[in-house]
Amino acid sequence: MNQKTFLQTFVYCVLIAIVIAAGFIVTDPAHWPNHLLTAFIFTMAIGYSISFLYHLLDPILLRRRPILRWLGLLAVFLLGGTIGTILPFYFLHQFLGFPLQSWWLLFGANLVLSLVFGTTAVLYFSTRARAERLTEELRAREIAEEKLVRLKTEAELSALQAKVDPHFLFNTLNSIASLIAENPAAAESTVEKLSSLFRYALRHSSGMKVKLSEELEIVLSYLEIEKVRFGERLQFAIEADETLKQVEIPALLIQPLVENSIKHAIAKARDGGSIRVDVRRAGNQCRITVRDSGQGIVEPNGEGGFGLKGIRERLRIMFGERASVRISPPPTSEIQILLPLD
């Protein structure tokens, strides 16, 4: 019998003793202390006798058919009632002069009470134990489902990451191909920068978040590669609040936006243009702004191209409604990403 069972039995017996003593107090109020003490002693003796026998024999009874199990429990109640009556009666008779003539009436009443309260106790504690077990099973199932949701989320993020990484790398390789014949030294330098981009992409191909400072370094490397390709046609600037550089953001979040600006605002313009990346604090959010000198983004379906849809989906999976992407209407060419700082 563990501590929890011991305390439960004690509380249950105290309540029964009070109920029994209350009946005697009504008929004989002058001797209520004696009635209360007697009821308490017999109830405790019977209650712990039944509880001990129940926990001793219940593993055996559990393997029997229901009818045999209940017959066994009735035997436990009667045996516990007998033991719980004989021992305290002998003690009360020997040391306190308890009258012998009350034995048979007390013995019969205690057996009836043992059957009634024993059955009630078993039903109550069995139902409670079953409810606790079902609660634990439900909680374990909820934990398993939460784990499955988390794994599903990670799988979705990995799938989206796999779509973004090749998109970015293939465009960079095209830039290098255009440099090999014209400027081998620049091509070699670009290959070195590309190797750092590969390492970054591979290192975070299955990861969720990186520090903002790491992402900005990759954006700088990408722009320097494109600078070799476009020369003076490309002007760029990156500015960020120093206090935000340790903030974690989804990997390869800013680079696709810069790549989009290269593709639409720089490559298509005869004189090129400029790109500016700005990271600032906006209340309890981190605001990432990518602005270029193009004519803006037209969103016929309200979502933009693949890059923007991928970014929106990644933010939805990671942050739910707490993150957003805002696209300024033409002729302004600006995209803002708002991320929660918590």
Q: Do residues 171 and 76 both lie within one domain? A: no
Of all residues in the chain, the percent with pLDDT exceeding 90 is 18
Where residue 158 sits, what CATH number does that domain have? 3.30.565.10
Beta strands 273-282; 234-240: pairing state: parallel
Rounded to an integer, the average pLDDT of 266-295 is 92
Pair 177, 306 in one domain: yes
Q: Are residue 74 and residue 165 in the same domain, yes or no?
A: no
- The rounded distance, in Å, linking the Cα atoms of 45 and 23 is 20
Residue 76: give the domain boundaries: 3-142
Looking at the fold, whether 208 and 286 belong to one and the same domain comes out as yes
For residue 240, is pLDDT > 90? yes
Q: Output the pLDDT for position 153.
A: 62
pLDDT digits (tens, 9 = 90+) for 93-125: 666 666 666 667 667 777 777 777 777 777 776
Give a yes or no: residue 23 inside a domain: yes
- Residue 149 belongs to a domain: no
Identify the pLDDT of residue 216.
Answer: 94
Question: For residue 302, what pLDDT is reported?
Answer: 44
**125 and 246 housed in the same domain:** no
Whether 231 and 264 have beta carbons less than 8 Å apart is answered as no
What is the total count of domains within the chain? Answer: 2
Q: Compute the mean pLDDT over every residue in the chain, rounded to the nearest whole number.
A: 77
From edge to edge, which strands make up the β-sheet containing 234-240? Answer: 234-240, 273-282, 285-292, 334-340, 324-327
Domain membership flag for residue 211 = yes
Where a domain ends, among 96, 117, 142?
Answer: 142
Which range is most confident: 98-107, 160-169, 180-189, 256-265? 256-265
The predicted model scores a pTM of 0.52
> In this structure, are 287 and 264 located in the same domain?
yes
d(CA 291, CA 190): 24
The verdict on 254 and 327 lying in the same domain is yes
Would residue 189 count as lying in a domain?
yes
Q: Is the pLDDT of residue 303 over 80?
A: no
**Where residue 189 falls among pLDDT bands split at 50, 70, 90?**
confident
Over range 56-65, report the average pLDDT.
71
Residues 129 and 162 in one domain: no
Residue 93 placed within a domain? yes
206-211 average pLDDT score:
73
Return the pLDDT at 61: 67
**191 and 99 in a common domain:** no
**Which burial class, exposed, middle or buried, applies to 328 when counting CB atoms under 10 A from its CB (0-12, 13-18, 19+)?**
middle
Does residue 226 share a domain with residue 205? yes
136-145, 204-213, 326-335: range with lowest mean pLDDT: 204-213
pLDDT in tens, 11-38: 766 666 666 666 666 666 665 666 667 7
Q: Do 161 and 268 lie in a common domain?
A: yes
Residue where a domain stops, chosen among 115, 142, 169: 142
Q: Which residue has the higher pLDDT, 259 or 289?
A: 289
pLDDT per residue as tens digits for the range 144-167: 777 766 666 665 555 555 554 565
121 and 203 share a domain?
Answer: no
In a domain, 147, yes or no: no
Is 301 domain-assigned?
A: yes
In a domain, 148, yes or no: no
Give the end of a domain, one of 81, 110, 142. 142
